[in-house]
Amino acid sequence: MLMHSRFAQTFAHRGASSKMMPPSVPSSRPAVPASNGVSKPDVSVRSYPHAGNQALVDRKAIGKAEFIRPEDGKAVMDDIDCIIFDCDGVLWRGFNTIPNSPETLKDLRARGKKLLFVTNNAGKSRKGYVKRFTSVGLDVSPDEIVPASFAAAAYLDSINFKATGKKALCIANSGTEEELQEHGIPYIGGEKWREPLLDSADKIKDLVIDENIGAVVVGFDGLLSYSRIVYASCCLRELPGCLFVVTNVDPNDNLGQPTKAPFNQQPLRRMMPVTGTMVQSIAHPTGKQPVIAGKGGSWLFPYLMAKYNLNPQRTAMVGDRLDTDIVLGAEGGLKTIMPLTGVTTLEELEDAKKVAGQPGALPIPDYVINTVATLAGLP
């Protein structure tokens, strides 16, 4: 399949799951499910959005991936003032809280650490996430939470989008809608939008799009239809200066529940396609490269540093994905810590270490822990 832009080519690789190729030969195979049913991060050298960042290359090994045991966990945080946590796969997995994660947050707060929670899950707004945290026994305030839904709206706010007098087309669920509302950004679309039926060439040819749309905002949309893809694509291709902003480009998420495939007796983790698959359906036909507001893009890190007045040298990133969490931390010069409770497995980490430091390779975390509880010296 011919890719029409560097983003599309890159994103195809991000969503792909392929066996390791020799370091000099980037993988270009189509997606292949991993043995556990979840697409594995492609850790081969390839065209990656952050490739060419010399600071990343100059870090050589990018991180030692030193394994830390609970008895040594507290010491890792001694020189850290702020800890940025991912959520899914770090504090909870599916509907289950990671053991001792509430106690870990309490311990870190008692030691005077500032905590932030930055997630690429755009399914909820900040207010919605407060309820989610409370439901799993975690005490967190709205200002400490930065979901990708919030990041997309904050990005539009940062470029003074409202001053254009334009509206956004929201191809996302209520989480992103609520954040657009909170930021006072006018929009059409969202969960209750009844888009025109565009199921034929004649209907698409006769479509009249809203010329006052100045941005297409894409997040997770469980109601994504061909008609929505067509409408969004027409806006991006035909409206001068129309922005393409996405919450994230994560290809899948682990639901954290074992299943059995009818043709295989081995337990499998069920994979849920998420926002990245929806972004690709619009990016590919338009040839447009979006602004990624959440983790995986270049906007979020400086925004976090400025908004929360953080010192990168005294900030740590704790996350389970090499391609978003550890990238965010490594490119910002943060201490990076990866628990083994989420997407990236120890086997995948070992594969990534084989090509670490090469241009385009994924970064390696400084430390690896069994669970987030290690940071409080807990099992």
Among the listed residues 81, 206, 250, 366, the single catalytic one is 81
DSSP H/E element including 260: strand 252-260
Phi, psi of 156 (to 5 degrees): -60, -40
Q: Please tell me the distance from the alpha carbon of residue 21 to that of residue 27, in angstroms, as a whole number.
A: 6
DSSP label at 322? Answer: I
Which two three-digit tokens encode residue 257?
């529940």
Burial label for 281, CB within 10 Å (0-12, 13-18, 19+), is middle
In contact, 217 and 246? CB cutoff 8 Å: yes
Pairing of strands 167-171, 145-147: unpaired
Q: Specify whether 81 is catalytic.
A: yes
Please name the helix (run of DSSP H) or strand (run of DSSP E) that holds residue 82, with its range, or none: strand 82-85
Strand partners, 170: 189, 217
Q: Are 102 and 378 in contact (CB under 8 A)?
A: no
What is the Cα–Cα distance from 252 to 14, expressed in whole angstroms?
A: 10
Buried b / exposed e along 32-54 (16+ C-beta atoms within 10 A)? eebebbbbbbbbbbbbbbbeebe
121 to 33, 128, 151, 174: CA distances (angstroms): 22, 12, 11, 12
SS3 state at 162: helix
What does the alpha-carbon distance between residue 178 and residue 183 come to, in Å, rounded to a whole number? 9
Distance of alpha carbon 253 from alpha carbon 278, whole angstroms: 14
Q: Is 284 helix (H, G, I), strand (E, B) or coil?
A: helix
- 153, 185 contact by CB (below 8 A): yes
Catalytic amino acids? 81
